[in-house]
């Protein structure tokens, strides 16, 4: 978190958008989706300065944008969205983040939450035993380097081929669980070392496994299309590319720092290290980043398979009969090539989403056929003890925000501040007092991720709903949480 407040000018466009007017060497305006209620927090964090900084990058198109969960990040703000022309623009690891394709998948069940509650402790323990969680934790999948190269090329499809899940899971995953263009020749030996033992692991920090209850439906038609109903038990998985993705980003920040000098790029912050999209360095980063994104999809796919097994062990019934189907899986930290209408022309752009979710509207060909009439499912995780949401993408998002919306609540306390304010065992007791069972590899993580460390997720979602860049479908409340 930044330790200073934003000093620049913010102009109110409407109830859900504020503008940072173009000035100096900014190439475009900044636009932040937020509300009067959330505005003081983002100003105190100085994250709007990073929105300004991104607006300086060569080839940026439209606006430098941020979602209502915006907070200070590395280079780009977390919650930042920016699109760049593929011929004149740049690609920046700071615009994707260190946890490449940190993302969320939601699995529905045919179980009513009230029927699951008597078995929840047994089920949570089975899930906790099945899915390795915690800092640096090694997984149950052991691969050699050549097999890891296959993971990087194939993503979730690799996991399904190995027996971790069903073919239909791929249909309900963004990019069908595999981003084209992965190139392992641009991945360092250190990244391979870190990635080899960690496929199928949850990690720590804000990552989690949750059993939730659908407690409110806002859009009946969309909810029915996704197989969601009030009172239903669902499972949410939130994790990313682990140490592999971190290393890919770290390596790229160094190499693209040199590219800034080589291509005489003018950037206001060295954390915005970048290279032209079409340059050898830009292509090398994209290839490695795509590999890390595919690693993350394989990771979540394996975890979901073990969650299904935990249900089967607990209830003595097969996954299919329990209705353990994937609703959807979305990425939060990624750069992609997508086409948009800009000034009346279709243009191919490199869209960076860092702490933001794809929010494609109805009819888009990249949405699974079963959801094409309602728009792409958008999964918004809460933060340990708070609600999570399912939304759908909109046509307005395609016109206004490069098909993007928020990704969660967004931090307001740094992890170090959270550790000073609360104790992990206190957080656990408080949540269990609210009827939320907690299993964690570390009480330190519980303190770092205490609900007070985050913005109000209800308010964040309300902004994107009212702004029309995503639409509320359902809200879920946590029943049991597993943390690393």
Q: To which residue do tokens 């940190």 refer?
A: 102
**What span, in angstroms and rounded, lies between the C-alpha atoms of 31 and 460?**
16
Name the helix (H) or strand (E) containing 327: strand 326-331
Query: Which residue, among 422, 343, 344, has the nearest Cα to 385 in the 3D structure?
Result: 422
Q: Are 148 and 253 in contact (CB under 8 A)?
A: no
- Chain-centre distance of CA 332, in angstroms? 2
Q: Are 273 and 256 in contact (CB under 8 A)?
A: yes
- Among 71, 238, 305, 407, which one carries the catalytic annotation? 407
- Chain-centre distance of CA 163, in angstroms? 25
**Backbone torsion region of residue 99, taken as left when φ is above 0, otherwise alpha when ψ lies between -120 and 50, otherwise beta:** beta
Q: Is the dihedral of CA 323, 325, 327, 329 positive or negative?
A: positive
Residues 6+ apart with CB under 8 A from 71: 1, 42, 45, 47, 77, 78, 79, 410, 411, 412
Residues 6+ apart with CB under 8 A from 10: 18, 19, 20, 32, 39, 43, 48
**What span, in angstroms and rounded, lies between the C-alpha atoms of 139 and 132?**
6
Kindly list the distances between the CA atom of residue 181 and the CA atoms of 131, 152, 155, 243, 285, in Å, as whole numbers in the listed order. Answer: 29, 10, 12, 21, 11
Tally Cβ neighbours within 10 Å of residue 305.
23
φ, ψ dihedrals at 256, nearest 5°: -80, -20
Q: Which structure tokens are listed for 23?
A: 């000035």
C-alpha angle with apex 319: 313 to 322, nearest 5 degrees?
Answer: 95
Active site (annotated) includes residue 407: yes
φ, ψ dihedrals at 234, nearest 5°: -135, 165
Q: Are 59 and 263 in contact (CB under 8 A)?
A: no
Q: Which structure tokens are listed for 430?
A: 């408080």
Q: Which structure tokens are listed for 242?
A: 């682990």
Query: Which residue, among 156, 167, 166, has the nearest Cα to 298 in the 3D structure?
Result: 156
**What span, in angstroms and rounded, lies between the C-alpha atoms of 124 and 310?**
8
**What span, in angstroms and rounded, lies between the C-alpha atoms of 3 and 7?**
13
Catalytically active residues are 407
């Amino acid at each position: 978190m930044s330790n200073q407040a934003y000093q620049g000018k913010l102009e109110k466009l409407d109830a859900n958008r504020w503008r940072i007017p173009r000035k100096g060497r900014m190439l475009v305006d900044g636009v932040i989706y937020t509300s009067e209620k959330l505005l003081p927090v983002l100003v105190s964090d100085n994250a709007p300065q990073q929105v300004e900084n991104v607006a300086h990058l060569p080839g940026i198109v439209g606006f430098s944008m941020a979602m209502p969960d915006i907070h200070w990040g590395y280079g780009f703000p977390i919650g930042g969205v920016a699109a760049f022309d593929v011929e004149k623009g740049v690609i920046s690891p700071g615009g994707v983040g260190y946890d490449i394709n940190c993302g969320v998948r939601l699995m529905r069940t045919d179980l009513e939450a009230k029927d699951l509650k008597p078995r929840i402790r047994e089920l949570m323990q089975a899930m906790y035993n099945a899915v390795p969680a915690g800092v640096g934790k090694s997984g149950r999948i052991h691969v050699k380097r050549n097999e890891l190269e296959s993971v990087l090329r194939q993503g979730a499809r690799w996991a399904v081929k190995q027996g971790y899940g069903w073919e239909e899971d791929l249909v309900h995953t963004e990019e069908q669980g595999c981003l084209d263009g992965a190139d392992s020749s641009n991945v360092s030996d250190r990244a391979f070392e870190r990635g080899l033992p960690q496929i199928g692991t949850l990690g720590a920090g804000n990552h989690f496994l949750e059993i939730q209850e659908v407690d409110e439906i806002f859009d009946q038609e969309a909810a029915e299309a996704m197989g969601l109903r009030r009172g239903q038990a669902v499972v949410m998985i939130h994790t990313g590319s682990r140490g592999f993705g971190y290393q890919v980003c770290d390596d790229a920040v160094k190499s693209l720092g040199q590219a800034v000098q080589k291509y005489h790029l003018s950037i206001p912050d060295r954390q915005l290290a970048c290279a032209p999209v079409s340059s050898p360095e830009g292509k090398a980063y994209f290839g490695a980043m795509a590999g890390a994104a595919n690693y993350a999809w394989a990771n979540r796919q394996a975890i979901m398979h073990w969650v299904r097994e935990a249900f089967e062990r607990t209830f003595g019934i097969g996954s299919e009969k329990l209705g353990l189907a994937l609703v959807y899986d979305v990425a939060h930290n990624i750069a992609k090539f997508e086409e948009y209408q800009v000034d009346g022309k279709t243009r191919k752009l490199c869209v960076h989403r860092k702490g933001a979710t794809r929010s494609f509207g109805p009819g888009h060909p990249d949405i699974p056929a079963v959801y094409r009439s309602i728009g792409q499912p958008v999964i918004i995780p809460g933060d340990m003890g708070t609600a999570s949401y399912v939304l759908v993408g909109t046509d307005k998002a395609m016109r206004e925000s490069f098909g993007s919306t928020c990704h969660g609540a967004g931090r307001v306390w740094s992890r170090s501040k959270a550790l000073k304010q609360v104790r992990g065992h206190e957080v656990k007791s408080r949540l269990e007092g609210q009827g939320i069972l907690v299993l964690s590899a570390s009480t330190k993580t519980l303190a770092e991720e205490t609900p007070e460390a985050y913005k109000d997720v209800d308010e964040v979602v309300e902004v994107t709903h009212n702004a029309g860049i995503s639409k509320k479908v359902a809200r879920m409340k946590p029943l049991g949480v597993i943390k690393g």
